Amino acid sequence: MARHLRPQLTTVRQPIQEIGATAFDVLHSMISNGTTTEHDVVLPTRLIVRASCGCPAQLTSPAWRVA
């Protein structure tokens, strides 16, 4: 939706399905093992640079992405 606003908003794309699947796996593991240990999980994100960041136009083109 952010790409349709003006100015287009810079956003961070998150792997929603992977977040849900990982949350299930961690919860299932905790229930199965009867543990309450903390789980640190880091999933990849992508910065989607658009006009709202104030960057020059060539940096906000669709081809420019930061992983």
**Distance (Å, whole) CA 17 – CA 29:** 18
Question: What is the tens place of the pLDDT at every residue in 5-51?
Answer: 788 888 899 999 999 999 999 999 889 988 777 778 999 999 988 88
Structure confidence at residue 66 (pLDDT) = 52
Closest CA to 20 of 41, 36, 50, 5: 41
Number of domains in the chain: 1
Nearest to 44, CA basis, from 4, 14, 21: 14
Whole-number pLDDT of residue 63: 53
How does pLDDT run across 28-40, given as a tens digit for each residue?
988 998 877 777 8
**Structural domain that includes position 7:** 2-31+42-59
65 falls within a domain: no
- Contact status, residue 50 vs residue 4, Cβ threshold 8 Å: no
What is the C-alpha to C-alpha distance for residues 4 and 2, in angstroms, rounded to an integer? 5
Instruction: Tell me if 45 sits within 8 A of 14, measured CB to CB.
Output: yes
Per-residue pLDDT at 60: 54
66 within domain boundaries: no
